[in-house]
Amino acid sequence: MHKWWGKHENMMPMQFCEEDKAEIQDLLGNIPILLNVLLNLQQENRNATHMQPQEKEETYESKLNQLHGQLRSCPEVSAMVSRILSFAVEQSDTLHDTPKLLR
C-alpha cells in the first residue's frame, strides 16, 4: 500500500498525514485496488496558502470529513460493504447451525 500512496500522491484530492492514510486503508478493508476510488473524488478548491495554522487545520479536517462522506456514498465502497454484510449473515447462519450438525 505504501507504494500505491507514493505513486498516486500527486493525484490525490488532498495530501494526507500517515495516520489518516492508515484510517482510510482500514476503512477500505486494506484492499489496494479500492484506494483508486480516492483518485476520482472531488474536493472543494480552497486556497490555503495565506491561512493561519489553525485555519489550515480546520480546512484539513473539513476536507477529510468531506472525503469520508464521499467514500461512504461511493458505489464501489457501498458494494464492498454490502458484500461483507451478506457474507457475515451467511456465516452467522452457517455457524448458528453448527451445533445442530454436531449432534
Q: Where are the domains of the chain?
A: 2-102
Q: Residue 57: pLDDT above 90?
A: no
pLDDT (tens digit per residue) in 83-95: 888 888 888 777 7
pLDDT (tens digit per residue) in 2-51: 888 999 888 887 888 999 999 888 888 888 888 888 888 765 433 444 44
Closest by CA position to 69, among listed 80, 79, 60, 77: 77
Amino acid 18: pLDDT: 92
Amino acid 53: pLDDT: 57
- Mean pLDDT score, 40-69: 67
Torsion of CA 13, 17, 23, 26, to 10 degrees: 80
Amino acid 58: pLDDT: 73
CB atoms within 10 A of CB 67: 20
* Helix residue ranges per DSSP H, 1-103: 2-8, 18-27, 37-40, 53-73, 75-102
